[in-house]
């Protein structure tokens, strides 16, 4: 197998995730797109790991999975809090920080 | 010289089918007008990623992916969708007006990355993961790495997870 087929798949998923982050208005959907990005990075890490024949890439991928789990937990808690305070999770309505 | 055993027809067919499935489901994640459908499409993407990890002979990461992502993270997402009462049916108000800018940005990003990858790794091959000369990933080797050279990041990660759990409880509790 060529390494490029995995790397291109990762790149495609990454760009899909970027598009999703930029276009979605719903906060939960933005978090879903971020998961897409993290998965594409994991594919890249494991492809390079298989090419170079160590196990370091596997360790990095496992750490990314753990960080992603923490990120989703805190992210959804924040979304829940925003929903409870404002009855809406539309990111376009959150403009208090705008100067 | 390319030997027949180097091409790995079966693995390539498997890769193609899984990759196609993942791309279609990824389009579902970013284009669906229904939050629950998008979340379920993400399950397909993650399952496909786990299958790709098996093709890359990273079985332990594949199992972890299924347990943590499909098992835990997706349940969390579905709870999030239900608790924020985002309409379970169609929701016309899901996208903002950035698509005009976001589509060229994403396409340009993919173009640059694809050019760099094809230019940089033109025909580099992954070592055979099955058959003669295969080197199966040793889970013991991964644990040796985690608990010897990567021990400090492992500790840091444990604290990150602890802080995230406590932070999530503090943020989300009612009173």
Contact check, Cβ <8 Å, A26/B91: yes
What are A90's strand-pairing partners?
Answer: A26
- Helix pair angle (B35-55, A3-23), 10° resolution: 160
Using 50, 70 and 90 to split pLDDT, how confident is the model at B157? very high
Instruction: Report, as an integer, the average pLDDT of A70-87.
Output: 89
Asked if A72 contacts B76 with a C-beta cutoff of 8 angstroms, the reply is: yes
Long-range Cβ contacts of B114-123 (<8 Å, 24+ apart): B114/A8, B114/A11, B117/A4, B117/A7, B117/A8, B117/A11, B118/A4, B118/A8, B121/A2, B121/A3, B121/A4, B121/A7, B122/A4, B123/A2
Q: Where are the beta strands (DSSP E) in chain A?
A: none
CB contact under 8 A, A32 and B164: no
Partners of residue B17 in chain A, C-beta under 8 Å: none
Q: Which of B49, B52, B167 sits opposite A74 (nearest CB)?
A: B167
Q: What are the pLDDT digits (tens) for A50-76?
A: 888 778 899 999 999 999 999 999 999
pLDDT in tens, B102-141: 999 999 999 999 999 999 888 788 876 555 555 556 788 8
Compare A96 and A38 and report the one with higher pLDDT: A38
The pLDDT value recorded for residue B1 is 45
- Contact check, Cβ <8 Å, A65/B146: no
Q: What domains can be seen in chain A, in order of their start residue?
A: 3-88 (1.10.287.3510)
Gap from B109 CA to chain A (nearest CA, Å): 7
Instruction: Read off the pLDDT of each residue in A2-9 and give the average, rounded to a whole number.
Output: 90
Q: Which of the pair, B100 or B88, is modelled with greater confidence?
A: B100
- The ipTM, to two decimals, is 0.90
Percent of all residues in chain A with a pLDDT value above 70, rounded to a whole number: 99
User: Could you say which of B19, B29, B49 has the minimum Cβ distance to residue A20?
Assistant: B29
Q: Which of B15, B96, B157 is opposite residue A63, by nearest beta carbon?
A: B157
Q: Does B10 touch chain A (CB under 8 A)?
A: no
A2 touches chain B (CB under 8 A): yes
* Nearest partner of A51 among B140, B120, B26, judged by Cα: B120
* pTM over cut 0.80: yes
């Amino acid at each position: 197998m060529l390494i490029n087929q995995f790397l291109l798949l990762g790149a495609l998923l990454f760009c899909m995730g970027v598009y999703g982050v930029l276009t979605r208005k719903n906060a939960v959907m933005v978090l879903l797109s971020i998961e897409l990005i993290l998965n594409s990075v994991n594919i890249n890490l494991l492809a390079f790991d298989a090419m170079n024949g160590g196990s370091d890439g596997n360790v990095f991928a496992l750490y990314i999975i753990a960080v992603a789990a923490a990120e989703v937990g805190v992210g959804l808690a924040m979304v829940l809090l925003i929903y409870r305070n404002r009855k809406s999770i539309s990111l376009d309505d959150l403009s208090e920080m705008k100067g | 010289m390319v030997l027949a055993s180097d091409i790995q027809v079966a693995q390539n067919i498997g890769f193609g089918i899984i990759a196609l499935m993942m791309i279609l489901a990824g389009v579902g994640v970013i284009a669906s007008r229904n939050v629950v459908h998008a979340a379920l499409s993400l399950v397909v993407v993650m399952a496909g990623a786990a299958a790709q990890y098996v093709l890359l002979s990273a079985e332990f990461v594949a199992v972890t992916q299924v347990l943590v992502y499909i098992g835990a993270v997706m349940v969390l997402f579905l709870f999030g969708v239900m608790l924020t009462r985002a309409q379970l049916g169609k929701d016309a108000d899901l996208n903002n007006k950035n698509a005009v800018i976001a589509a060229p940005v994403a396409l340009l990003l993919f173009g640059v990355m694809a050019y760099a990858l094809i230019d940089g790794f033109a025909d580099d091959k992954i070592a055979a993961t099955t058959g003669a000369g295969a080197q199966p990933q040793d889970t013991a080797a991964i644990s040796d790495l985690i608990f010897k050279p990567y021990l400090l990041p492992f500790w840091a990660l444990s604290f990150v997870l602890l802080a995230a759990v406590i932070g999530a409880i503090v943020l989300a509790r009612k009173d």
